[in-house]
Every structure is written in structure tokens, then in C-alpha cells.
Amino acid sequence: MLNTLRKSVRWLLLITVLSPLPALAVDPVYTGWFSSVAIKGYDPVAYFTENRPVKGSDKFSYSWNGADWHFSSEDNLEKFKSDPEKYAPQYGGYCAYAVSQGETAPIEPDQFTLVNGKLYLNYNKSINEKWLKDKGSYIEQADKEWPKLVE
């Protein structure tokens, strides 16, 4: 009986110690309601290499951070695999402007901005235009809001 109690206490302590590990949790990636595909199937690497959205293919796909990422070429797939954090959009691919306002919203892949080597996506053209007028402030605010949204 005492041995069983000791084992139970050990397990309880182990669970208690390991349960608050948010640093190991992954941030959510926006994929839409009935999909597992990030950025609506667009190639995240192409934003950096071609400075435009390029539709990816499930022929070149990779599962990362709970989502399926599509690429337009094997080369882009390999680049992403080697450094996904470099190419993945900020805030899990949710609308960057919405995140700056403490909300989440879907995106349109053609409404994007590259700032200091980071990809930001937005909801639509008018939101992206608003975002571009003061992107530095919006990024600063979104960086503060994002951790609250993923808690």
C-alpha cells in the first residue's frame, strides 16, 4: 500500500512539474475551418525569393507546427525544412493587423508585407493598405498581443 502511494505521489509530482510548459507548446497556424493547409496553399518561401505569392503544390508539401505547407518547388521545400521559422509568416499566418488589435482574422495570400526579413499577411487590400501606413507601430503592438492570443 505504501509503495503504491509513493508511486502515485511521484506521478502526481511529475505531472505537476511538466504540465506548465508553455515554452514547449507550438503557436497555432491559421489553416481555415476545414483545412490543414497553411497560407491557403501558397509557398511561404516564394514571398522571399520572388517577392510575390506563388501557389504551392501538394506534390511538394511538409508538415510543420500542426499544418501542411505547400511549395512551388523542391528547392523551396528544402529551404523551408532547413529553417521554417525564417519563412513562416508571423503570428501563425493570421492577419497581422487583426493581431495588433488583439483579434485573429483570416488572410488573403496576396496581401503581404516583408519587413526586416519577416512575412506579414493581412485580411484584404484595404486592411493591408492601412497596415502599410504605420506597419512599425502595428508590428510592435501585434508582438505584444500575440502571446495573449495564444495563451
In tens, the pLDDT along 44-95 reads 999 999 999 999 999 999 999 999 999 999 999 999 999 999 999 999 999 9
Closest by alpha carbon to 148, among 99, 112, 96, 89? 99
Q: 70 forms bridges with which residues in the sheet?
A: 61
pLDDT tens figures, 10-47: 444 434 444 444 444 567 999 998 999 999 999 999 99
Element (H, E) at 144: helix 135-149
pLDDT at 27 (0 to 100): 79
| Residue-by-residue DSSP string for 92-141 | GGS-HHHHHTT-----EEEEEEEETTEEEEESSHHHHHHHHHTHHHHHHH
